[in-house]
Amino acid sequence: MTMTDEVLFERKGHAGLMVLNRAKALNALTHDMVVAMHNHLTEWDADPSVRHIIIKSNSDRAFCAGGDIRQVAKAGPEKAAETVQFFADEYRLNAAMKACKTPLVALIDGIVMGGGVGISVHGHYRVGSEKTLFAMPETGIGFFPDVGGGYFLPRLPYALGYYCALTAERLNQADCCWAGILTHAVPAEKFEALEAALCAADNVESVLDEYGVEAGHAPISDKAQVIESCFGVDTTAGIFEALSQLEASSDDDFARKTLDTLGGRSPTSIEVAFRQLKRGAELSMNDCMIMEYRIVSQILQGHDFYEGVRAVLIDKDHSPKWRPERMSELNEVEIEAHFMPPKGGDLTL
């Protein structure tokens, strides 16, 4: 079993406890972390004395800000065959969490993005504090909303998943409860007591009901109808057309801001992510993970991911030079190549 102190494991009462322990890096997931979590998840799911599994963070800033993609990007496309193994193991963990029979409870206090969504959203219960900040920001770095994004995002109401996937919109606690990303809202000050109560409980439902509160009005719900009208279409060209028509006919600046946002994203990422969600809406979780492994295998051999990480996370000039630069310049064959089996074969689960 992989040993790492970046995630801690403990049996506490009726619960198996996973504690993300990489606070300085906002708990960005490393390869060792995902392997260790998968190993313990498998062990605890087979142990009848473990009545539920809790995953939490040791940081009051972040549950998990994503995968440690800076390290992946540093390896470059020359080592794509090696770095893709991180994603293979991460996707296996995501699929195992979805399939886990033992109730899985994520306690989300702070930032939850990318890979952090993957280790929480597929579980039975997602409990968020008022500090919850959700996003799938991958198109801004030339990547795509992986970790099962192809499964859960298209299943959100009002085409919200498409909107979040393409724009990287951030959602707060109330938004996440309204959309179904969170199952419960609990004040941050009660998280410690909630954890103790969950570990002592034989069944989590009554505990979560006791500690849960109303999250209040969800700002994103005010835009739900317009989001659905613009993003619930059949093509990315349809999205841009709907937004352009809305901008021309309305005083609301939603369309203008959204078009400006999309204009800064990787065109390749926008198109790949849209098709990922369209296909994922009809696929099982496992089939989505196989699809996403195909996508990442192709992206790691390309340009935009490395350029996006450079611009956003390394040099921080926020001026990525995408190839191609415009949606109109995308090549259909190159886009569809992201959905073909990689040379090394498909992901095994």
Burial of residue 331 (number of CB atoms within 10 Å: 0-12, 13-18, 19+): exposed
Tokens 């109730």, residue located = 103
Cis, bond preceding 324 (omega within 30 deg of 0): yes
C-alpha angle with apex 76: 71 to 80, nearest 5 degrees? 95
As annotated, the active-site residues are: 67, 115, 138, 146
Helix axes 254-263, 236-249, angle to 10 degrees: 140
Judge contact between 312 and 289, C-beta under 8 A.
no
Burial of residue 330 (number of CB atoms within 10 Å: 0-12, 13-18, 19+): middle
Beta strand extents in the chain (DSSP E only): 7-12, 15-20, 52-57, 62-64, 104-108, 111-113, 125-128, 133-135, 184-185
Sheet holding 111-113: strands in order across?
62-64, 111-113, 133-135
